[in-house]
């Protein structure tokens, strides 16, 4: 036997021993459970990713001007924040108008 063949044989025997030792330390039922856990975790991750994707699609529909364009999520969040500021500004302006016209009508009622 050549030295190269001897080394390959020693390596394969050592590998087989390690495999046997590893199997004794971890029963096959444990390996099956860990694979199932990994599969469940992977499935949960895909479901969460799908839910997030659905929520982003709904958010795109709520923001005006985003009708079918592809947009990155960070840009979508920035446009959402800008739209919220715009809506708050409109609410403040409408409240001020109500206050102003409410006072004017009170003054007209008091004068008559």
pTM score, two decimals? 0.53
Same domain as 38, residue 2: yes
The pLDDT, as a whole number, for residue 31 is 53
Are 87 and 101 in the same domain?
yes
Cα–Cα distance between 84 and 73 in angstroms, integer?
Answer: 16
Are 92 and 47 in the same domain?
A: no
Overall number of domains in the chain:
2
Mean pLDDT on 80-105: 92
One domain for residues 72 and 57: no
User: Which residues in 80-109 are b (16+ Cβ under 10 Å) and which e?
Assistant: eeeeeeeeeeeeeeeeeeeeeeeeeeeeee
Find the mean pLDDT for residues 53-76. Answer: 84
Q: Give yes or no for residue 30 having a pLDDT over 70.
A: no
Q: What's the domain range around 46?
A: 1-62
The pLDDT value recorded for residue 20 is 63
Same domain, 9 and 56: yes
Residues in the chain: 112
């Amino acid at each position: 036997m050549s030295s190269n063949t001897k080394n390959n044989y020693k390596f394969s025997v050592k590998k087989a021993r390690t495999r046997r030792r590893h199997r004794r330390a971890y029963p096959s039922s444990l390996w099956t459970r860990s694979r199932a856990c990994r599969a469940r975790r992977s499935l949960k991750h895909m479901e969460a990713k799908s839910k997030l994707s659905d929520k982003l699609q709904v958010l795109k529909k709520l923001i005006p001007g985003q009708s079918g364009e592809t947009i990155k999520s960070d840009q979508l969040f920035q446009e959402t924040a800008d739209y919220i500021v715009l809506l708050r500004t409109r609410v403040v302006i409408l409240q001020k108008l109500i206050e102003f016209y409410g006072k004017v009508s009170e003054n007209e009622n008091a004068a008559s």
